[in-house]
Structure 1
Amino acid sequence: MALVKKGSRLITVDGTAYRWRLRSRPTYGRGLVMSPLAYAVEHAEDPGTTLVVTTGRPHPGNWLGRPGSPVLPAEVADGIRTALAGGWQPGNPGSPFRLDRSEGFGTTR
């Protein structure tokens, strides 16, 4: 499943172009800070398997006013490199590849 181009950003990591996107509005669970912020990444020219990275912080637009921070391109690049080292193959079709970086999220609320 390809990412929606509207609202997505391009990033080049080690010479390869990727497209990444973060929901501008939180889902219900993220709005209530029950689940952490996540973003999706795919290969820009030949999308296949989508990478879904779950962070360890709340969505900046959560409804409870909990402090959240934006996802920066350096963090996205690091997530892409980590996923590639962990076996993510962005050009091949398949189920989403999940990278969970949310350790300790429930304990910091």
Structure 2
Amino acid sequence: MGRNYFTDEQLKDLPLNPFVKKASNKAITYTDEFKEYYVSEYNTGKMPLEILRNAGFDVKALGKQRVDNLSRRFLSMAILNLINYSFILFIYNSYLT
């Protein structure tokens, strides 16, 4: 499967989205705010394409593989953050007793 590169026109438009930290012809770096927004919206039952469209992204330009990867990555990071937070609370509470 070939890589989905962004066109010059898409590269001009991507930085205009406030959720984009930086973009190259191969990749997008999303802001932390977008990652939090994505997970929050996903947890309310919204589907990945809907979340991305509502955030101003052209899902066709992103491509299926990029959408699948960012969804998996953001949700995995959210789970790890929750586990780390829970572990810290457990240690903290154990220390207090």
Between Structure 1 and Structure 2, whose CA radius of gyration is higher?
A: 2
Q: TM-score, normalised by structure 2?
A: 0.28
Structure (1/2) with the larger helix percentage:
2
Q: TM-score, normalised by structure 1?
A: 0.26
